[in-house]
Structure formats: structure tokens, C-alpha cells
């Protein structure tokens, strides 16, 4: 037990949960910091709730985040099998041993553990000493009448037989720990060390759930969150960087990781913080890298050349990769120009707006070199000559050619759109005004 061995043991009942990823990260970091092993075990004895494809979702989710485990159902290992459903004989054998020692007894087809008198306590690595009066715990079922073990029993047999040295899990398991320690003691073996992480909470302090927040890890991948940003976000949930940094790599997290830096107060799962982090990591990517990351999220009709041209224009405004199509849709499709918005943003003088569209079009028709600096110079000269308010004049032009009030820089947008489309859109807006 001198070697650090930690595990996560999710149930495949639907999808890979963000809570599983959060707990996995802390286990992974502790294992890497101590040159130990990180193990994935599947707790699939809840037959009614088992979803076959959920296992793959767990494998894929952890690999997407880079939390690659050293042993598991899909890769094997020295202490397998790594699915509970394949370990039933082991559970039954130890139950028989407990019955022989009169530490457990049969009850209506099931088997109950006989809770001893006294106190059960442990030194939690995050919370300090925790004590329970054994009188608070009734004799509990360890083997159900259908032959399947209960959680509190099977987890002990699994952790013991897999040589788990530290159990790092959510605080909802604190109440399970006394019963598990009793079983370790009944088996005559030393329990692992326990560390109970704080529960994730919504901004209103309620427990994170699918009713209030997207909790499927796949949703974050589909939305275009970068795995580095998600990992960085999870690091900040209950743990603080010694230099009070918000942005750092997983390698840095591992280097500074310690249980002393984990708070017992519930961290807030705030998607706004994740959005902010994701934007930072997007801007760290090269344009070439972003093109490759965004392509799988795009409609097939979008030309590669257009993606290459527009990525630099929208990079600073991207929060999630999935937001890219909306930022550039006007390059592909004719925009719908809201006349009310155009007039309000243009200064409410319809006659002046018409004049600006006419003169702006004339200037663009005369432009020979369709380059960003040339276009900007031509428009600034026109604004100065006609005494136009620059901001309102540019806004009128922006809305007329894109249908939006917020876009990538106006003249870079014109340059990518091309002369024909830009002039055509200005004229269409003018005709409809």
C-alpha cells in the first residue's frame, strides 16, 4: 500500500457527468504528483439503470479531457476485472467468510452486516477527524436477494482487492464511510485514506443537476469548449492556486496540488467563468489550429477559404467554437436588415441615412484596390468631407451589409465579402428603406 493507487468508479446509467470529470481530475492529479496509478472501475451492478452505451461515453469523456487512466475495463490491468458485474464470485466469497465469523447474517434472502458497538472515525485528508457513533448505523444489507452486492459492500471489496491507497470522492459519500470502514475492520485489513471533496453547486447554491445546468460532459464538447479550458475550470472548483492565478495548465495544477489547498465550502459551477476561460484558451490557439477545431462544428457548405479568412476576424469575439457560425453567417447568406434598428442606430434621420448609403456606395464603386486600408481611408475621407458622425456612419454601413450591429471589424468584413456583394447589399438596403 506504499504505492499511490487511486480510482474513480462511475455508474454507467446514462452519460458521462461533469461531476465524474471533476472527481477524476483530482484523483488524476494526486496520482501523477505521487508517481502513482489512476484507475477506472465501472460500477454496473444496478442492472435496472444500466445503459450499455454509457460506458463508452465515460471512456470518451475522460480521454477528451486528457485524463487518461492507467487501468480500466477497456485497457485491462493487473487487478481486473474492472466491471463489478464481472466480480460477483469475489463478493459472494467474502460474504460467506463474514457469515462464518458471525459478522454478517442472512435475512429474508439477503445478507446483512452486523454493526459493532462503539465509534467509527477517520482522519479525512481534507476535513480532519470525522467521528460517527455506531448506534446511528443500523445493520445494513451487503448482499441483496438477487445475488448482487450493495454499494457500501462492493466498494470495499473492490478497493481492497485493487490495492487502492487513497479514496478521493465527493462529500456525499461521508455518510457511507463509517459502514465501509466497519467492513474493512471486519475483514481484518487497513482502510485506505479518505478525502471528501466539496459538492459542486449552482449559483443559487442548489446542488448541480441536469434540471438547472448542462451536466453531460458531451454537451461541453459539442458546444465547442476546449478541453484545456474545462480542465482549468474544474481545477478552480474548490482548489486555489498558491499564486492566486486563474489561468494555468494541468501540469501546473499537478505541481502545486495538495489537499491543504482544497476548501470544504461548496464551489460554484458558474458557466460564465467557464466562458471567460474558454475565450482565453481560444485566443491562445493559432488561426490554423482554430480552423481545424471549428471545422467539425460547421455546415459542409461553408468554403474552407472563407473559414481561413474569417477566423482572424472573429477570434477575439469567440466564447465557444459553436458560436462561430452565427458570427459569420452573413458572409454566406443575405442578411435581413431591420429598418427600425438601422434608423435608430444611424441617428434617427432617415434622409441622412439614405444619403450616407448612396455616397458610401458611390465611393466603394470607385475603389480600385479592394483592400482593408484603402476601404477604411475612403470612408474616413468621405465622413470628413460630408461632416458625418463617424461612429453612426460606420454603423449604418455595418447594418446594411451584415444585418447586425456587432460584427468583426467593418473594413476587414468588406474586404472578405468582396466588392460585388458589399455594393449589392448597400443598394438593396437603400431600396428597401
Whole-number Cα distances in Å, 411 to 9, 378, 395 = 54, 10, 12
What is the rounded end-to-end Cα distance, in angstroms, of the chain?
A: 78
Say whether 210 is catalytic: yes
Bridge partners (DSSP) listed for residue 143: 111, 149
Catalytically annotated residue among 210, 350, 384, 385: 210
For residue 375, CA distances in Å to 178, 249, 414, 417, 423 come to 73, 42, 8, 12, 12
Distances (CA, A) of 158 to 7, 27, 41, 147, 173: 10, 17, 9, 16, 16
Q: Which residues contact 147 (CB under 8 A, 6 or more apart)?
A: 88, 92
Contacts of 382 (CB under 8 A, 6+ apart): 359, 360, 363, 388, 393
Residue 39 sits at the vertex; the CA angle it makes with 34 and 148, to the nearest 5 degrees, is: 140
Q: Which contacts (CB < 8 Å, 24+ apart) does range 386-394 have?
A: 386/355, 386/356, 386/359, 388/356, 389/347, 392/345, 392/346, 392/347, 393/356, 393/360
Burial of 211 (0-12, 13-18, 19+ CB in 10 A): exposed
What single DSSP character describes residue 212? T
Strands 128-133 and 119-124: antiparallel
Contact 29, 253 (CB under 8 A): yes
Helices H / strands E in the chain, number of each: 18, 9
Q: How far apart are CA 13 and CA 54, in angstroms?
A: 6
245: left (phi over 0), alpha (psi -120 to 50) or beta: beta
Q: What is the dihedral of CA 251, 256, 261, 263, to 10 degrees?
A: 0
Give the active site residues: 210
Amino acid at each position: 500500500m506504499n504505492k499511490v493507487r487511486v480510482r474513480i468508479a462511475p455508474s454507467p446509467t446514462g452519460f458521462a457527468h461533469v461531476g465524474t470529470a471533476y472527481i477524476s481530475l483530482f484523483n488524476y492529479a494526486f496520482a501523477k504528483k505521487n508517481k502513482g496509478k489512476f484507475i477506472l472501475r465501472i460500477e454496473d451492478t444496478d442492472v435496472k439503470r444500466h445503459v450499455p452505451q454509457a460506458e463508452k461515453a465515460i471512456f470518451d469523456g475522460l480521454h477528451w479531457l486528457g485524463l487518461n487512466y492507467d487501468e480500466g475495463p477497456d485497457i485491462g490491468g493487473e487487478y481486473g476485472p474492472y466491471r463489478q458485474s464481472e466480480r460477483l464470485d469475489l463478493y459472494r466469497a467474502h460474504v460467506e467468510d463474514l457469515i462464518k465469523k458471525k459478522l454478517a447474517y442472512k435475512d429474508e434472502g439477503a445478507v446483512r452486516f452486523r454493526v459493532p458497538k462503539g465509534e467509527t472515525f477517520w482522519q479525512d485528508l481534507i476535513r480532519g477527524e470525522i467521528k460517527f457513533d455506531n448506534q446511528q448505523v443500523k445493520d445494513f444489507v451487503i448482499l441483496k436477494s438477487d445475488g448482487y452486492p450493495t454499494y457500501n459492500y462492493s466498494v470495499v471489496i473492490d478497493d481492497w482487492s485493487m490495492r487502492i491507497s487513497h479514496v478521493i470522492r465527493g462529500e456525499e459519500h461521508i455518510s457511507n464511510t463509517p459502514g465501509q470502514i466497519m467492513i474493512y475492520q471486519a475483514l481484518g485489513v487497513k482502510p485506505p485514506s479518505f478525502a471528501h471533496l466539496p459538492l459542486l453547486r449552482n449559483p443559487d447554491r442548489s446542488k448541480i443537476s441536469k434540471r438547472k445546468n448542462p451536466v453531460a460532459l458531451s454537451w461541453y464538447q459539442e458546444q465547442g469548449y476546449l478541453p484545456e479550458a474545462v480542465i482549468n475550470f474544474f481545477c478552480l472548483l474548490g482548489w486555489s492556486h498558491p499564486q492566486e492565478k486563474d489561468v494555468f495548465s494541468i501540469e501546473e495544477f499537478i505541481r502545486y496540488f495538495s489537499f491543504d489547498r482544497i476548501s470544504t465550502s461548496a464551489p460554484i459551477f458558474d458557466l460564465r467563468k467557464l466562458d471567460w476561460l474558454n475565450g482565453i484558451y481560444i485566443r491562445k490557439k493559432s488561426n490554423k489550429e482554430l480552423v481545424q477545431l471549428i471545422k467539425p462544428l460547421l455546415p459542409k457548405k461553408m468554403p474552407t477559404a472563407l473559414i481561413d479568412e474569417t477566423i482572424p476576424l472573429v477570434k477575439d469575439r469567440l466564447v465557444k467554437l459553436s458560436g462561430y457560425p452565427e458570427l459569420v453567417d452573413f458572409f454566406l447568406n443575405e442578411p435581413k436588415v431591420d429598418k427600425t434598428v438601422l434608423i435608430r442606430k444611424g441617428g434617427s434621420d432617415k434622409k441622412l441615412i439614405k444619403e450616407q448609403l448612396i455616397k458610401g456606395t458611390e465611393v466603394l464603386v470607385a475603389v480600385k484596390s479592394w483592400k482593408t486600408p484603402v476601404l477604411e481611408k475612403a470612408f474616413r475621407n468621405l465622413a470628413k468631407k460630408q461632416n458625418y458622425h463617424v461612429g453612426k456612419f460606420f454603423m449604418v454601413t455595418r447594418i446594411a451589409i451584415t444585418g447586425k450591429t456587432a460584427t468583426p471589424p467593418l473594413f476587414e468584413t468588406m474586404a472578405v465579402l468582396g466588392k460585388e456583394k458589399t455594393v449589392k447589399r448597400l443598394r438593396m438596403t437603400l431600396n428597401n428603406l
